Amino acid sequence: MAQRKRQLVAAEITEAALQLCAVKGFDTTTVDEIVEAAGISRRTFFRYFSSKEDVAIQLLASLGTDMRDELRARPAGEPPATALRHAVGIAIDHCVDEPLKSLRVVQLILRTPVLHARMLERQAQWREGLTIELAVRLGRDPATDMFPEMAARMALAAFEAAMLHWSVSDGAADPHVLTDRAFAMIGPALDQAG
Amino acid sequence: MAQRKRQLVAAEITEAALQLCAVKGFDTTTVDEIVEAAGISRRTFFRYFSSKEDVAIQLLASLGTDMRDELRARPAGEPPATALRHAVGIAIDHCVDEPLKSLRVVQLILRTPVLHARMLERQAQWREGLTIELAVRLGRDPATDMFPEMAARMALAAFEAAMLHWSVSDGAADPHVLTDRAFAMIGPALDQAG
DNA sequence: CCGTCGATGGCACAGGGTGTCAATTGCGGC
DNA sequence: GCCGCAATTGACACCCTGTGCCATCGACGG
């Protein structure tokens, strides 16, 4: 019950923030403007989000664990390229399910350097998760064997490339098609034994 | 003459900042502490560096253009994997030439999230440069053909992986050997026609 | 000796983020 | 209905980053 209210307030803050950022841009939008639009106090804002950037970044919060969980759920015998394609597909599905919301956030992040930086930092955490999961699947030691890490890096590179092209196409391109095209380029490296 | 003095002052600020960050960590080191150690005023600090993070990031400033220039200088007929390996090698050379300074900076950046994020953002700019250069070499259009972009992403992924492992090895591992190992993983994807 | 120009320092201010404390709200027990 | 308890909120003070503005100082040429 308290949890529900908390999510509701967070959603209101997020909506107000995205609305303002879409009009004024992220950097010129102040926290004071956001809290006024959301009808809360400045102090409360920072109880819901650890920083102004956090409002945008939080929207991608579950993607990392979702991708990792999907990778873990894939059949054990599946080749890395296929398993990683499905894992990344989970994140892509979010864009397909809610294209308007997703596109708005992705474009805001990609055209705001500080948000882009934070997203890349978060992606590095996703990579760690995928690396470990992949190492377990393949029975390799990620400390001495670079293949799980490099495979995770390549998969996320494909993901990011697909997101970028989807963003510049203004949502016109099919995210899954873009992802397939990107994965076609890294496939030969993922299927090798390493 | 004014240029020389400027570089000298910048070097002093950098040295003071790195010294303090090594002891106290980046986040808990304030600009006031740095300027006091460097013997300058707070205002002057921000005339030399646009932000506190800039002191650390600026040390990687030339890597992007250096890699791009090296890629441009490689023979036209050279396969992408070889050309990119040499381009990244330019950056690696800096680590080999001055291992103590480089390792200190790399470790500081990698263990400070906000600096890591800024470096990744800067890496994205390097990628754009490499992508364009690669597209020219291969006679492909990067807007419709993802291969140049994906190749640049993979090369930088290998670079980052090598830097990471070099950092955790505390400089014990040979950066070029690590880079070779990482490039061995992406080679099959770079040598294909796309 | 004087005027100019660039570098510097000091100051005030906006904005992000945090600690602290009082007021409010909501809820269960009596 | 009333009381006490806990959680949430709001308000204030504060630190830190970053910027605009202006006074100052020093070098250099006229």
In this structure, the answer to whether residues A70 and A22 fall within a common structural domain is no
- Cβ-Cβ contacts under 8 Å for B25 (sequence gap 6 or more): B112
Which of A49, A72, A88 is a domain's end point? A49
Distance of CA A51 to the CA centre of its chain: 18
Give the pLDDT score at B48: 97
Question: Exposure string (b/e) for A148-172, b if CB count within 10 Å is 16 or more?
Answer: bbbbbbbbbbbbbbbbbbbbeeebe
A162-186 pLDDT tens trace: 999 999 999 999 999 999 999 999 9
Give the pLDDT score at A3: 76
B4-25 pLDDT tens trace: 889 999 999 999 999 999 999 9
Do B146 and A185 make contact, defined as CB atoms within 8 angstroms?
yes
Q: Is B86 on the interface with A (CB under 8 A)?
A: no
In this structure, the answer to whether residues A9 and A104 fall within a common structural domain is no
Confidence label for A4 from pLDDT (cuts 50, 70 and 90): confident
- CATH number for position A96: 1.10.357.10
Domain membership of residue A54 (yes or no) is no
- A153 neighbourhood in chain B, CB within 8 Å: 154, 157, 160-161
Are residues A161 and B153 in contact, defined by beta-carbon separation less than 8 angstroms?
yes
CA B118 to C1' C5 (Å) is 36
**Look-up of token digits 């004024």:** A24
Domain membership of residue B9 (yes or no) is yes
Mean pLDDT taken over chain A: 95
In this structure, the answer to whether residues A42 and A91 fall within a common structural domain is no
Are residues B185 and B102 in contact, defined by beta-carbon separation less than 8 angstroms?
no
Average pLDDT of span A44-70:
96
- B123 neighbourhood in chain A, CB within 8 Å: 120
- Whether the pLDDT of residue A128 is over 80: the answer is yes
Domains in chain A, number? 2
Do B124 and A121 make contact, defined as CB atoms within 8 angstroms?
no
Residue A126 lies in domain: 59-191
Instruction: Please give the Cα distance from A10 to A48 (Å, whole number).
Output: 6
Give the pLDDT score at A191: 85
In this structure, the answer to whether residues A30 and A69 fall within a common structural domain is no
The residue ranges of chain B whose pLDDT is under 70 are 193-194
Give the pLDDT score at A102: 95
Element (H, E) at A76: none
Q: Is A8 on the interface with B (CB under 8 A)?
A: no
Q: Is B96 on the interface with A (CB under 8 A)?
A: no
Are residues A135 and A142 in contact, defined by beta-carbon separation less than 8 angstroms?
yes
Q: Name the closest residue on chain B to residue A184, using Cα atoms.
A: B194
- Whether the pLDDT of residue A110 is over 90: the answer is yes
Domain membership of residue B186 (yes or no) is yes
Nucleotides of chain C within 7 Å of a protein C-beta? Answer: 6-11, 14-20, 27
Are residues A68 and A130 in contact, defined by beta-carbon separation less than 8 angstroms?
yes
Domain membership of residue B44 (yes or no) is yes
In this structure, the answer to whether residues B38 and B81 fall within a common structural domain is no
In this structure, the answer to whether residues B125 and B162 fall within a common structural domain is yes
In this structure, the answer to whether residues A88 and A164 fall within a common structural domain is yes
- B147 neighbourhood in chain A, CB within 8 Å: 185
Instruction: Please give the Cα distance from A25 to A19 (Å, whole number).
Output: 10
Give the pLDDT score at B1: 76
In this structure, the answer to whether residues A179 and A116 fall within a common structural domain is yes
Q: Is A173 on the interface with B (CB under 8 A)?
A: no
CA of B41: nearest nucleotide by C1' is: C9
CA of A5: nearest nucleotide by C1' is: D8
In this structure, the answer to whether residues B27 and B106 fall within a common structural domain is no
Average pLDDT of span A114-119:
98
Give the pLDDT score at A193: 62
Q: Is A158 on the interface with B (CB under 8 A)?
A: yes
Distance of CA A72 to the CA centre of its chain: 18
CA of B53: nearest nucleotide by C1' is: D17
Give the pLDDT score at B193: 62
CA B74 to C1' C26 (Å) is 71
